[in-house]
Homo-oligomer: A and B are copies of this chain.
Amino acid sequence: MSQPAGHRDEGLIQLIDPSGRRTPNEELDPWVTDVDVDALRGLHTDMVAIRRIDQEGTALQRQGELALWPPLLGQEAAQIGAGRALEDDDFIFPSYRETGLAYCRGVDAEDTLRVWRGNAYSGWDPFGKNMATPQIIIGAQTLHAAGYAMGIKYDGGSQAAITFFGDGATSQGDVNEAMVFAASYQAPVVFFCQNNHWAISEPVELQSNTHIADRPVGFGIPSLRVDGNDVLACLAATRIALDRARTGNGPTFIEAVTYRMGPHTTADDPTRYRDANELDLWAAKDPIERLEKHLAGLGLDTAELQAGAAVVADAVAEKLRKAIIGLQDPQPMDVFENVYSQPHATLDRQREHYALYQQQFADAGSATEGGAR
Contacts and interface: CB of A to CB of B under 8 A. Distances in A.
A275 to B, nearest CB: 21
A216 B223 CA distance: 16
Interface residues on chain A, size class: 35 or more
A1 B174 CA distance: 24
Interface string A1-24: 111101000000000000000000
Contacts of A224: 1-2
| Copies of the polypeptide in the assembly | 2
Given A1-B222, A220-B6, A183 B209 contact: yes
Given A183-B208, A184-B209, A209-B183, A217 B4 contact: yes
Given A173-B174, A177-B172, A219 B223 contact: no
Interface string A207-222: 1111001111111111
A51 interface: no
Contacts of A221: 4
A61 interface: no
A208 B219 CA distance: 7
Contacts of A4: 217-222
Contacts of A210: 183, 218-220
Contact of A180 (B6, B186, B207): B207
A225 interface: yes
Contacts of A155: none
Nearest to A27: B1
A206 B4 CA distance: 25
A171 interface: yes
Given A173-B173, A215-B219, 17 more contacts: A1-B224, A2-B222, A3-B217, A4-B219, A4-B221, A4-B222, A170-B180, A172-B177, A173-B174, A176-B176, A180-B207, A184-B206, A184-B209, A208-B220, A209-B220, A210-B220, A216-B218
14 contacts: A1-B223, A2-B224, A170-B180, A173-B173, A184-B207, A184-B209, A186-B209, A208-B219, A210-B218, A210-B220, A214-B220, A216-B218, A217-B217, A218-B219
